[in-house]
Amino acid sequence: MLSSDAPDKSPIAQDKLDPIIHSPARLKILTVLKEVESADFLFILRHTGLTRGNLSSHLSKLETVNYITITKEFVEKIPRTLIQLTKEGKNALETYRQQMLQKLERLK
Amino acid sequence: MELDALALKAQQSFYEDGLADIFMGGILLLVAVLILLISHFTFFLVFAIVIFNPLIYKALIDKAKQRWVYPRAGYVQPKPLHTPTRRDNLLGVALILTLLFAPILILFVSYSYPGLIIWVTWVAPVSLGLLFSIGPFIVARKYHIYRYYLFAILPPLLGLIIPWLNLSFPSIYVAYFTTLAIQLSIAGLIALLSGTVFFLRFIQRYPIELTDGDSTNALL
């Protein structure tokens, strides 16, 4: 079993940037989710400035690679869709951050 | 793409609507009134409020946000500021009890009336004020919400200013509790006013958008 911080869970090779995270829109979504426990669609929409359709499609992509979880619950009969960053998502974002730092360092 | 600004804005969003300020102001005013009433029952209520404050806070804030905030700006569950251990809780309660009952203890243990006056006039108001500064200070420092520095500074600062005013009281105990009540009510009133302003601005800035049903249905 892999440990929670195992970098090889990411679908990318060691030096290649994760194409899932490298998209500005998805990077924004993951950045927002990293700072909170969980949030709903409207919150992420407001903070990323994406359109509803765009956000929905990016969230689906992130869910497919297991970087986020999307769960639906009812609070006082009102539906609420919770979006949460997974451990895989957190690790992938951290790996991406480190790779970017290294790449920028090489530009010096 | 300003990712750091985006991250900070997401962290600050929980305090953006001013409801936390309103709650803090309301609690401080309530505690001030209860202290002024000076009876066994009101003291019991003050302790109950201090001990159960996190639970009351969560229940009331959740309810208010459910009603006014989530339909406008979306739901967010912030990361916990600090998860207190049982030791932290016991230490906090012991500290509050010690500070509140210090005058009685000093009188019974040492019979030192001048020592008691110095404690009541100069030490107690500032130290009790500092207790109420901890929460706002953590919020201000962690999330860079600058108005919380004011909320953190006010209670101990008022604890320094009020004794300078040389107000006359019928007894030392009345002086002790009245000073504390004045301190808390001024700090509470300012938090309440600030919260109201932020809340009204928030309501204006984020009107409820009418969409075709649940906007999140597209995801599922």
Residue B216 placed within a domain: no
Q: Is the pLDDT of residue B170 over 90?
A: no
Mutate to test the interface with A, among B14, B143, B216 (most CBs of A within 10 A): B216
Beta bridge partners of A82: A40, A71
Residue A11 placed within a domain: no
Q: Is the pLDDT of residue A75 over 90?
A: no
pLDDT of residue A1: 38
CATH number of the domain residue A100 falls in: 1.10.10.10
Q: pLDDT tens digits, residue range B20-53?
A: 999 999 988 998 898 888 777 777 888 788 778 7
Residue A65 placed within a domain: yes
- Smallest Cβ distance to B75: which of A32, A35, A39? A39
Q: Which of A98, A88, A52 is nearest to A68 (CA)?
A: A88
Residue B192 C-alpha, separation from nearest chain A C-alpha, in angstroms = 26
Q: Which residue of B has its CA nearest to A52?
A: B215
Q: pLDDT tens digits, residue range B130-167?
A: 888 888 998 999 899 999 999 999 988 998 898 888 77
Residue B190 placed within a domain: yes
Q: How far is CA B29 from the centre of its chain?
A: 10
Residue B145 belongs to what domain range?
3-205
Count, in order, helices (H) and strands (E) of chain A.
Answer: 4, 3
More confident residue, B52 or A88: A88
| Torsion angle in degrees (nearest 10) through CA of B189, B191, B192, B194 | 120
pLDDT bin (cut points 50, 70, 90) of residue A5 is very low
Residue A72 placed within a domain: yes
Residue A26 placed within a domain: yes
For the record, the structure tokens of A71 come out as 């769960």
B220 touches chain A (CB under 8 A): yes
Residue B220 placed within a domain: no
Chain A residues in contact with B214 (beta carbon < 8 A): 79, 81
pLDDT of residue B52: 82
Residue B52 placed within a domain: yes
pTM: 0.77
Distance of alpha carbon B131 from alpha carbon B156, whole angstroms = 9
Measure the N-to-C terminal CA separation of chain A; round to a whole number of Å: 39
Chain A residues in contact with B1 (beta carbon < 8 A): 24, 27-28
Q: What mean pLDDT is predicted for residues B50-71?
A: 86
Residue A12 placed within a domain: no
Residue A10 placed within a domain: no
Q: Is the pLDDT of residue B111 over 90?
A: no
Residue B218 placed within a domain: no
Mean confidence (pLDDT) of chain B:
82
- Smallest Cβ distance to B10: which of A35, A56, A60? A35
Domain count, chain B: 1
Residue B110 placed within a domain: yes
Q: pLDDT tens digits, residue range B5-28?
A: 888 888 888 899 999 999 999 988
pLDDT of residue A85: 95
Q: pLDDT tens digits, residue range A9-42?
A: 554 455 788 899 999 999 999 999 999 999 999 9
